[in-house]
Amino acid sequence: MILRGAAPLFLLLASGCTVATPNADVVTNSEAVAAEQAPSPTPVPTAEPEVVEAAPAPPSAQRLDLGIAIAEAELTQGGWVRGKVPEGTQEAMLGDEVVDFDEDGRFFAAFDRDAPESLLLTAYHRSGRNISLPLAIAPRDWDIERVNVPLRPSGTSEEWWERREPEWLAINEARDRVTGAQGWRQEFIWPVTGRISGRFGRQRIYQGEPGSYHSGLDIAPGNGVPFVSPADGVVVLARTGFSLEGGIVIVDHGAGLNSAFIHLSHLSVAEGDVVKQGQQLGNVGASGRATGPHLHWSLMWKDSRLDPLLFLPPMH
């Protein structure tokens, strides 16, 4: 189910979902509207009929917008969703993951490469009601290669890990930073165009034992070609000399969404820089553990790995 580019679709509870309050009656959106439209009671005359105050509307007559609006989405593994939670929402969740939203209720959330076929999007309202929307996540036919050789052990030496651990911690800390960036609202652009040399999700199975899958998109435009930021953001990591990544730049786009670019030959930005969509970040290279010059671009939302191709228009 792909809603990308469609007009906002308001998914109201009247279409089949209900809102439950502990120790209270179940209320549907249609019942709230009906109560609001019921005629007001006729005032009872008093000793001074010229002074008559209307009785306040009962709580059941107060209309609540109980819909979760989906603006656009790629409802598939490695995909994403943008939308709006109802006014008065105090917390939102996608499955077990917290979903951040702005003062207008607008949010971004996404689905891991191995996401289940259904996830529940829930808004917890200040009234005590929980508004839930099940999302059907389409499975993907991943590029899986089965080979009749054993998976080589990935054990590493203590000496190597002494070097790798601070790099690994720096990457994790950078991805966890909250900058307030707003790039998550934008339609992404290609950081660079060229031959696609590696696709997201590709994986080998070694005699029935799965190896790690490819966590990003590889683009090979040629060594030294400049690349740009696909959306607005803040640079949260910009380093060279990492053992696996070589030159690396991570850009936070806000709302838990960030981009990492690795194997760079040159960096054009520094940590803390605020960058605009289309601004140069560096140059393509083959640094770190790479077999040839290319740009490896990975996208993550929280702990979920995403397919960059699902954020992009066709390459021209």
As a whole number of angstroms, the distance between CA 252 and CA 236 comes to 6
Residue ranges per structural domain of the chain: 9-136, 156-311
Contact 226, 192 (CB under 8 A): yes
Query: Cα dihedral sign for 142, 183, 176, 279?
Result: positive
Contact 140, 201 (CB under 8 A): yes
**Which of 76, 79, 84 is closest to 110 using CA atoms?**
79
Looking at the domain that runs over 9-136, which CATH code has it been given? 2.60.40.10
pTM equals: 0.79
Weakest mean pLDDT among 10-14, 209-213, 216-220:
10-14
What would the two tokens of residue 90 be?
A: 């105090």
- Looking at per-residue pLDDT, the higher value among 154 and 15 belongs to 154
> What does the pLDDT read at residue 213?
87
> What does the pLDDT read at residue 46?
39
> What does the pLDDT read at residue 15?
34
Weakest mean pLDDT among 18-22, 132-136, 198-202, 218-222:
18-22
Residue type, 196: I
| Residue 52 φ then ψ, to 5° | -125, 120
Domain 156-311: give its CATH superfamily: Glucose Permease (Domain IIA) (2.70.70.10)
| Residue 58 φ then ψ, to 5° | -65, 155
Residue type, 267: L
At 13-44, the pLDDT tens digits run 333 333 333 333 333 333 333 333 444 444 43
| Residue 28 φ then ψ, to 5° | -105, 160
pLDDT-derived band at 159 (thresholds 50, 70, 90) equals: confident
- Looking at per-residue pLDDT, the higher value among 47 and 109 belongs to 109
